[in-house]
Every structure is written in C-alpha cells, then in structure tokens.
Amino acid sequence: MSFLIDTNIIIYSIKSDKTVQNNFIKNENIPKSISVITYGELLFGAKKSLNIEKNLAVVYRIKELFPIINIDKAIIETFSDLKTKSQKTGNIIDDFDLLIASTALTMNLTLVTNNEKHFKKINGLIIENWKNE
C-alpha cells in the first residue's frame, strides 16, 4: 500500500494539526506522494498569501519530501472515464479533484484526504481521512 496525499491534508500538517501529524508518524514507513495538481494548488496558495517567500519555501520543501506524480496518458484516460460518468449521473466533481482521484486509481494508491464528500462518489477509490481519525 502507498498513499497519495491530498492538498488539504498537506495544509493541515503545515498548520500543525495533531491528528494529521500523528497519522504521518504512524504511517512513516509507507510510501507517500502528491499529485502535480496538489503541488500546483500549494504553489498558488503560497503565491497569493501575505508571506509569499516563507510559504514558497515550505512548498519547495514539500516537493523535496514527497515525490510528485505527473499527469500522463493513463491518468488522463481514467480522468475522461470518471468525468463522463460524473456528468451522466449528475454527480459533478471538480476537474482538479477528478485528476487527483484519477492519479490514485491509475497508480493504485490510497487517497488521503479530508474531502470525503466529493471523493466518496468515485467507485473503486480507496480513501483514508487522516483529519478525522
């Protein structure tokens, strides 16, 4: 088992959330990565913040700690399947969330997120919530 860490879990960890930090410690020997989408969301958050330099330094450190999974053809194929299903069923999910979910599904990773509301709509996606454990 390996984990794909969602943006909100990274942010909780940065903000020293004890439950999230304890889960990182508890799972320290299990491989973890982030999506390039999460990396982009973190960069955006840092660049729009009041303390850009400090927050960019944190994001760059995260980049060193977690391998970043890029979007490839297989992930895009999964994304197109998920987006088609979500539109047909009326369960519309944000494209960035769909790309993160597609990454987890394609790479056979467990998605660690506090955003269960959106992600639980996706069949076959394994989710852990490190914020509410």
pLDDT tens digit string along 23-38? 999 999 999 999 999 9
**Closest by Cα among 86, 95, 92, 110 to 41:** 95
Domains of the chain, by residue range, sit at 3-128
pLDDT tens digit string along 9-25? 999 999 999 999 999 99
Q: Return the SS3 of 13.
A: helix
Mean pLDDT of successive 10-residue stretches along the chain, which has 133 residues: 96 96 96 98 97 97 97 98 92 92 98 92 94 82
**Residue 3: predicted pLDDT:** 98
- Give the mean pLDDT of the chain: 95
**CA separation for the pair 118, 116 (Å, rounded):** 6
pTM for this entry:
0.94
For domain 3-128, which CATH number applies: 3.40.50.2300, 3.40.50.720, 3.40.50.1010, 1.20.120.350? Answer: 3.40.50.1010
In angstroms, how far is the first alpha carbon of the chain from the final one? Answer: 18
